[in-house]
C-alpha cells in the first residue's frame, strides 16, 4: 500500500506457470488472483523489467527491495532515478520491499540505502534511458547524440517523441550484469550514468514524497492494513525469562463479545478476537499460570561489574602498534578510565505490528514494517515449514525503525496466530510488549588506559571493550529462531553472531605510536526468549564505543594540558575528519583552551564539548554546550552544532532534518535512556519507566553544517550523526564542572552524586 | 454493546460498541480512520490524539461513552482538519517545515498545536514546549516541529492582519 495515489501500473509476471496480474488501485498494490499462484518468487535482478517499467503515460514505475523507514530514502531514490531519466520526480513512482515484485537488495540497514542501494537503480535508469534514446533515434531518424530529453520528451529540433510512445516492451535484449548480493547487489546495463557535475535534481531539496500524505492523513502504515475476514490478536508474554506455561484459564475471556480463540503453543500464548478492543480485553482476561522465572540476570547495580568479571565467549584483537606496556611504564603520566553503557530499548513510537494471512495450501502473505522483507520471507516460511516461495512479505512502514526493533517478531506472532485460527490476523503489541520484550541495544563496558610523555604528547592507548553481541539476535531475520514468539514455541536461535564493540568501529582516524585494542563478546544471560536479547539499535555499537573513545580523548587532552580540539587534530590523519571537526568548531565559535573551565561557586555552570563521529566514510563533528545545575544534577543541553560530510548530498533539506532528529534522539539516549530490569525480567515497560527525549530536553539552538562533496559518491547519513552526541555532552559536562561522568545515562541522580 | 451515535469530523455515525471501549478503537476499527494511532494505550505519548470540543485529548484512554449519547460531542481527527480541499494552516506549516521523520506520532503534535494556537495565537517558545511536554516523538523531530508551530503562528497572525 503505497502512499502515493493515482499511480497506474499493470505488471504481468509468470508465477508457477500462471500469469498473474497486479494493478495499482488507489495507490495500493493489490494481489489480484494471487490465491491462484502456487509460488511467490522474487524477480531476477538480471532483467531490466524487474526493476523498472515505463508506463504508457511516460511515467516510470520502479521496483526496489529498498524501503523508507522515516529518513527520506524514498525521496532520495526518486531523485536519483528521475535524474538519470531526465524526468520530473513526480513522474517516478516506486514499489518498495514486496518480495513478489521487487529484487532482494538485502532490505535496509547500516545507512547503506543511498550509498549502496541506489547504485543498481542509477544504473538501471541509465540503461533504460539509453534504450529509449536508441529507439527514439530509429523512430525519428536522428542520431542519438543529437537528441535532447526534457521531462520524458525526447526531441531534436521540431521532431519529438515521448517516453510513453516508445515504451512498449522495453525489456532489454541482454541481461544486466549482476555483482554482489544483499546491500552490495549491483547491476550494470552498460550505460554510463550521468556526470554528477551536471545534476539538476540530485542535490536539490525536493519535498519528501511521504511528508504531505502523512500530515494530511492519507499515508498508510502497516498498522492500517485491513484484509477481508481479518481478526485481531494480542500476545501474552511470560512472567519472566525462562518461565513456562503451567496452565491457562481462558474462561473469563470466552465471555467477551467477539472472542475467537486462545492460542497456546508451549510458552507462546496469544488471543484472537473479532475486533481489537475485544483482543485487548481478552489478553487481560486470560489467566496464565507461569512457572517461576529464572534468576538469569544480575542485580541491575551489578551489571557492569558482572560484565567485567564474566568470561568472554569470543575475543578480537586488532593488530598491535608498537608496545603499549612499555609506553605506559615509561610515561610521565598515565590515565585509566572505565566507561559503562546500559542496555537501551528500541521503544518505537508504535509497538510492533504485523498482519498475516496464512494459507496452508497456497501463498501466505505477511505485511510487516521489518527492515528486511526478503529475509523475513525465508524466516516466516521456515516457521510455517513451507518453501520460501510460498510466502510473500509486503513491507509497509511501521512506526520509526532503527535497526531490528521487533516488528519482525510481531509479524511472526501474526503468522503463529493466523495459522492457528485459519484466518488473517493483525497483531499489534501493547506498549509493554515493545518496550520490555522488544530486542535491546547491547550493554557495553570499556576500559581504557593512556600514556602521556613529559612534553604532553600522547604516546600510547590501550582499549578493551566487553559487550553483549549486537548480533545475538541476527539483524538478518531469515530464520524462525530469530523471532521471540518462535523461541517461545521451542525453536532455538541458531543464527546469532558475535558482533564486537570495536575500537576500529569508532575511531579509525586516531593514530598513536603505541596502540593495543581488543574487544570481547559476552554470552547472553539466557539464550531463549530473553527480554535482554541484544541486536542492532541505531548505529549498533557505534554510539557506545564513541562515547568511550571520544570521552577518553578528552581525558587525555585534559591530562596533557591541551585543547581537546587541538589534541584531536594532532592525532588524526584523515583530512575529511579534520575538516568536519574544524567546520563544527568554526560554526560554534570554539575558543581554544584547556578543559575544564576554572572552578566557580555558581549553582549553574556552563561548558562545551566536542567529539568526532566516523562511520563508513561519513564524517561528523558534534559540539554540545551544556548548563549543569550543580545542586540538582540536571544537565541541560543548550546548543548542539553538528557538521556532516557524507560525500555528495542528494537532498540537503531532508538530510538536515534527519541529522537534527538523530541529534535529539541521541541526546535522549545520552541523558535519559536506560533499560531497567530485575533478576528475571525487564521492568522498563512504558514511557514513564523508559524515558526518552521530550520537548523540554531539546536545545534552543541546533546548528547543522552540511559539507557537500560533489566529487564523491553519496555516503550514509541515517546513523552517523547519532554517534558523537554522547561524548560531546559528557565532555561539555566535564568542561563545566571538572567532573568526568563515565556512565550513560547522565541522569540528574548520577551527575548530582558525581558532583557531591 | 450498545448502538450509539458518534459524530466525527462533522459526520454522524451509528455504531454498535461497548460503552467502555476507548474511542481510539472505534475510530480505527469501526470507522476505519487510520490517523489516531496506538502508541501506548496509557495516555503517555499522544499518538492517539483527537480534538474534542477543540481540546486535544488522548483517544486511547477516553471511553467512547464520553463522546456519545448524553455526552455527544464532535470529534475531529487529522482527516477532518482540511477544509474545502485545502490543508489546515497548521498542517500546511508542518508540511512546509517537512517536520517529521517516520510521522507515526504526528497526530499529537499537529492537533496539540492546533488547539494551542486557537486559544493562544502567539505562544512563546516556552509555551509551545510546555504544551507539548506530554508528547513523544521517538525519532527526535522536535526542532522541526517547534519551527513548524512558529511558522503556523506567523501565518496565522499575518492572515489576521491581511
Chain B residue with Cα closest to A640: B143
Stretch A346-375: mean pLDDT: 97
B79 in contact with A at a CB cutoff of 8 Å? yes
**A663 contact B CB<8A:** yes
Domain A223-292+352-429, CATH: 3.30.365.10
Residues 390-449 of A with CB under 8 A from B: 397-401, 428, 430-431
State mean pLDDT over A491-519: 89
Correct CATH for A551-755 of 1.20.1600.10, 3.30.365.10, 1.10.10.10, 3.40.605.10: 3.30.365.10
Per-residue confidence band for A509, with pLDDT thresholds at 50, 70 and 90: confident
pLDDT (mean) for A352-370: 97
A28 part of contact set with chain B, CB < 8 Å = no
Say whether B77 and A349 touch across the interface (CB within 8 A): no
- Start-to-end CA distance of chain B, whole Å, equals 51
Q: Is A692 on the interface with B (CB under 8 A)?
A: yes
The Cα of B91 is separated from the nearest Cα of chain A by a number of Å equal to 6
Domains A300-346+439-522 and A551-755 alike in fold: yes
Summarize the confidence of residues A580-584 as an average pLDDT: 98
Is the CB of residue B28 less than 8 Å away from at least one CB of chain A?
yes
Assess whether pLDDT exceeds 90 at residue A747: yes
Mark yes or no for CB contact A428/B91 under 8 Å. no
Check whether A14 has a pLDDT greater than 80: no
Q: What is the DSSP letter of A53?
A: E
pLDDT of residue A505: 66
Question: What 8-state DSSP symbol labels residue B12?
Answer: E
Does B71 have pLDDT greater than 70?
yes
Q: How far is CA A325 from CA A140, A334, A555, A558, in A?
A: 76, 11, 19, 22
Check B140 against A71: CB less than 8 A apart: no
Q: How many CB pairs under 8 A join A and B?
A: 169
Domain A300-346+439-522 = CATH 3.30.365.10? yes
| Domain A10-217: top CATH class | alpha beta
Vertex A339: Cα angle to A333 and A344 (nearest 5): 165
Indicate the CATH number of B89-161 among 1.10.150.120, 3.40.1190.20, 1.20.144.10, 3.90.79.10: 1.10.150.120
Residue B47 and residue A349: Cβ atoms within 8 Å? yes
The pLDDT, as a whole number, for residue A12 is: 33
Residues 6 or more apart whose CB falls under 8 angstroms from that of A63 comprise A43, A50, A51, A52, A53, A94, A95, A98, A101, A102, A103
Q: Name the residue ranges covered by the structural domains of chain B.
A: 2-80, 89-161
Q: What is the mean pLDDT of residues A703-725?
A: 96
Q: Are strands A701-707 and A635-645 parallel, antiparallel or unpaired?
A: parallel
The β-bridge partners of A466 are A445, A520
Query: A73-97: per-residue pLDDT in tens?
Result: 999 999 999 999 999 999 999 999 9
Residue in A226, A665, A686 nearest the CB of B140: A665
The answer, yes or no, to whether residue A189 has pLDDT greater than 80, is: yes
Which residues in chain A have Cβ-Cβ distances shorter than 8 Å to B50?
Answer: none
- Domain boundaries of chain A, sorted by first residue: 10-217, 223-292+352-429, 300-346+439-522, 551-755
pLDDT of residue A41: 77
| CA dihedral sign, ordered A596, A598, A600, A604 | negative
Tell me how far apart the terminal alpha carbons of chain A are, to the nearest angstrom. 56
pLDDT, tens digit, 9 for 90 and up, residues A638-663? 999 999 999 999 999 999 999 999 99
User: B91 or A3: which carries more pLDDT confidence?
Assistant: B91
pTM, two decimal places: 0.95
Torsion of CA A178, A181, A185, A186, to 10 degrees: -20
Outline where DSSP puts E strands in chain B.
2-8, 11-17, 49-52, 55-58, 74-76
Alpha helices in A259-333 (DSSP H): 276-285, 303-309, 324-329
Residues A472, A469: Cα–Cα separation, whole Å: 5
- Sign for the CA dihedral angle at A670, A672, A676, A682 comes to negative
Query: Chain A contact for B148, CB < 8 A?
Result: no
The dihedral of CA B113, B115, B121, B127: what is its sign?
Answer: negative
Return the axis-axis angle of helices A73-85 and A118-140, rounded to nearest 10°: 30
| Residues in chain A closer than 8 A to B101 (CB atoms) | 70-71, 400, 657-658, 661
Q: For the domain with range B2-80, which CATH number is right: 1.20.1440.80, 3.10.20.30, 3.40.190.10, 1.10.3720.10? A: 3.10.20.30
Identify the residue whose cell numbers are 511521504. Answer: A210
CA distances in angstroms from B94 to A97, A394, A473, B87, listed in the order given: 28, 29, 37, 10
Report the residue count for chain B.
162
How would residue A469 be classed by pLDDT, with cut points 50, 70 and 90?
A: very high
B18 vs A: CB within 8 A: yes
Region A698-714: mean pLDDT is 97
Amino acid at each position: 500500500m503505497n502512499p502515493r495515489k493515482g499511480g497506474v501500473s499493470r505488471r504481468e509476471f509468470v508465477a508457477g506457470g500462471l500469469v498473474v496480474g497486479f494493478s495499482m488501485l488507489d495507490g495500493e498494490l493489490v494481489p489480484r488472483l494471487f490465491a491462484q499462484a502456487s509460488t511467490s518468487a522474487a524477480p531476477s535482478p538480471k532483467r531490466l523489467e524487474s526493476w523498472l517499467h515505463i508506463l504508457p503515460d511516460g511515467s516510470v514505475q520502479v521496483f526496489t527491495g529498498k524501503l523508507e523507514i522515516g529518513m527520506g530514502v524514498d525521496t532520495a531514490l526518486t531523485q536519483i532515478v528521475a535524474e538519470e531519466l531526465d524526468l520530473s520526480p513526480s513522474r517516478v513512482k516506486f514499489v518498495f520491499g514486496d518480495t513478489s515484485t521487487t529484487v532482494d537488495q538485502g532490505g535496509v540497514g547500516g545507512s547503506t540505502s543511498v550509498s549502496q542501494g541506489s547504485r543498481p537503480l542509477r544504473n538501471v535508469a541509465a540503461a533504460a534511458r539509453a534504450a529509449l534514446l536508441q529507439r527514439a533515434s530509429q523512430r525519428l531518424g536522428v542520431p542519438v547524440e543529437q537528441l535532447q530529453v526534457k521531462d520524458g520528451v525526447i526531441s531534436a529540433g521540431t521532431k519529438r517523441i515521448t517516453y510513453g510512445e516508445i515504451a512498449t516492451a522495453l525489456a532489454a535484449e541482454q541481461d544486466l550484469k549482476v555483482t554482489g548480493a544483499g546491500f552490495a547487489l549491483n547491476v550494470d546495463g552498460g550505460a554510463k550514468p550521468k556526470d554528477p557535475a551536471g545534476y539538476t535534481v540530485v542535490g536539490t531539496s525536493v519535498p519528501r514524497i511521504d511528508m504531505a500524505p502523512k500530515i494530511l492523513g492519507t499515508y498508510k502504515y502497516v498498522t492500517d492494513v485491513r484484509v477481508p475476514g481479518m481478526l485481531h490478536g494480542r500476545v501474552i508474554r511470560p512472567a519472566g525469562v525462562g518461565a513456562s506455561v503451567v496452565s491457562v484459564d481462558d474462561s473469563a475471556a470466552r465471555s467477551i463479545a467477539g472472542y475467537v480463540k486462545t492460542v497456546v503453543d508451549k510458552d507462546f500464548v496469544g488471543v484472537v478476537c473479532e475486533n481489537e478492543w475485544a483482543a485487548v480485553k481478552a489478553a487481560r482476561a486470560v489467566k496464565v499460570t507461569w512457572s517461576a522465572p529464572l534468576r538469569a540476570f544480575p542485580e541491575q547495580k551489578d551489571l557492569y561489574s558482572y560484565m567485567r568479571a564474566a568470561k568472554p565467549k569470543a575475543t578480537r584483537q586488532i593488530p598491535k602498534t608498537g608496545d603499549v606496556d612499555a609506553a605506559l611504564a615509561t610515561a610521565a603520566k598515565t590515565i585509566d578510565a572505565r566507561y559503562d553503557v546500559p542496555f537501551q530499548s528500541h521503544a518505537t513510537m508504535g509497538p510492533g505490528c504485523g498482519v498475516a494471512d496464512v494459507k496452508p495450501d497456497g501463498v501466505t502473505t505477511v505485511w510487516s514494517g521489518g527492515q528486511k522483507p526478503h529475509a523475513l520471507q525465508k524466516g516466516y516460511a521456515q516457521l510455517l515449514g513451507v518453501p520460501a516461495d510460498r510466502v510473500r512479505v509486503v513491507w509497509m512502514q511501521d512506526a520509526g525503525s532503527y535497526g531490528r526493533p521487533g516488528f519482525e517478531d510481531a509479524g511472526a506472532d501474526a503468522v503463529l496466530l493466523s495459522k492457528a485460527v485459519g484466518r488473517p490476523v493483525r497483531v499489534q503489541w501493547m506498549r509493554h510488549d515493545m518496550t520490555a520484550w522488544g530486542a535491546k541495544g547491547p550493554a557495553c563496558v570499556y576500559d581504557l588506559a593512556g600514556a602521556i610523555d613529559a612534553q604532553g604528547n600522547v604516546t600510547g592507548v590501550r582499549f578493551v571493550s566487553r559487550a553483549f553481541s549486537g548480533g545475538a539476535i541476527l539483524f538478518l531475520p531469515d530464520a524462525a529462531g530469530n523471532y521471540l514468539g518462535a523461541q517461545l514455541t521451542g525453536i532455538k536461535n541458531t543464527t546469532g553472531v558475535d558482533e564486537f564493540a570495536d575500537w576500529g568501529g569508532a575511531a579509525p582516524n586516531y593514530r598513536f605510536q603505541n596502540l593495543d585494542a581488543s574487544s570481547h563478546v559476552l554470552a547472553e544471560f539466557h539464550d531463549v526468549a530473553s527480554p535482554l536479547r541484544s541486536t542492532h539499535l541505531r548505529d549498533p555499537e557505534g554510539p557506545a564505543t564513541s562515547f568511550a573513545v571520544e570521552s577518553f580523548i578528552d581525558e587525555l587532552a585534559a591530562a596533557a594540558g591541551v585543547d581537546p580540539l587541538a589534541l584531536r587534530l594532532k592525532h588524526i590523519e584523515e583530512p575529511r575528519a579534520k575538516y568536519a571537526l574544524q567546520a563544527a568548531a568554526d560554526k560554534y565559535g570554539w575558543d581554544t583552551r584547556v578543559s575544564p573551565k576554572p572552578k566557580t561557586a555558581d549553582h549553574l555552570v556552563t561548558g562545551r564539548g566536542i567529539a568526532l563521529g566516523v562511520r563508513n566514510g561519513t564524517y561528523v563533528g558534534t559540539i554540545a554546550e551544556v548548563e549543569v545545575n550543580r545542586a540538582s544534577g540536571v544537565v541541560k543541553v543548550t546548543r548542539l552544532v553538528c557538521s556532516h560530510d557524507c560525500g555528495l548530498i542528494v537532498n540537503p533539506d531532508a538530510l538536515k532534518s534527519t541529522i537534527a532528529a538523530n541529534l535529539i534522539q541521541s541526546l535522549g539516549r545520552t541523558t535519559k535512556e536506560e533499560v531497567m530490569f530485575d533478576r528475571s525480567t525487564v521492568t522498563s515497560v512504558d514511557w514513564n519507566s523508559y524515558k526518552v527525549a521530550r520537548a523540554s530536553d531539546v536545545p534552543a539552538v541546533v546548528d547543522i553544517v552540511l559539507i557537500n562533496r560533489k566529487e564523491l559518491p553519496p555516503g550514509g547519513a541515517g546513523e552517523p550523526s547519532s554517534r558523537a552526541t554522547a561524548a560531546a555532552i559528557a565532555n561539555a559536562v566535564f568542561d563545566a564542572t571538572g567532573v568526568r561522568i563515565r556512565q550513560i545515562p547522565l541522569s540528574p541522580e548520577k551527575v548530582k552524586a558525581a558532583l557531591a | 454493546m450498545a448502538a450509539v451515535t458518534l459524530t466525527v469530523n462533522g459526520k454522524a455515525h451509528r455504531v454498535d460498541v461497548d460503552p467502555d471501549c476507548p474511542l481510539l478503537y472505534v475510530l480505527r476499527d469501526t470507522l476505519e480512520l487510520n490517523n489516531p494511532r496506538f502508541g501506548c494505550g496509557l495516555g503517555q505519548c499522544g499518538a492517539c490524539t483527537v480534538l474534542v470540543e477543540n481540546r486535544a485529548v488522548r483517544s486511547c484512554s477516553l471511553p467512547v461513552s464520553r463522546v456519545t449519547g448524553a455526552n455527544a460531542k464532535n470529534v475531529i481527527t487529522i482527516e477532518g482538519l482540511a477544509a474545502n480541499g485545502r490543508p489546515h494552516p497548521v498542517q500546511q506549516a508542518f508540511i512546509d517545515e517537512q517536520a517529521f521523520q517516520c510521522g507515526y506520532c504526528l497526530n499529537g503534535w499537529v492537533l496539540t498545536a492546533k488547539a494551542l494556537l486557537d486559544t493562544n495565537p502567539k505562544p512563546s517558545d516556552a509555551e509551545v514546549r510546555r504544551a507539548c511536554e506530554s508528547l513523544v516523538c521517538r525519532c527526535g523531530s522536535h526542532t522541526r516541529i517547534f519551527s513548524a508551530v512558529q511558522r503556523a503562528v506567523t501565518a496565522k497572525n499575518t492572515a489576521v492582519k491581511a
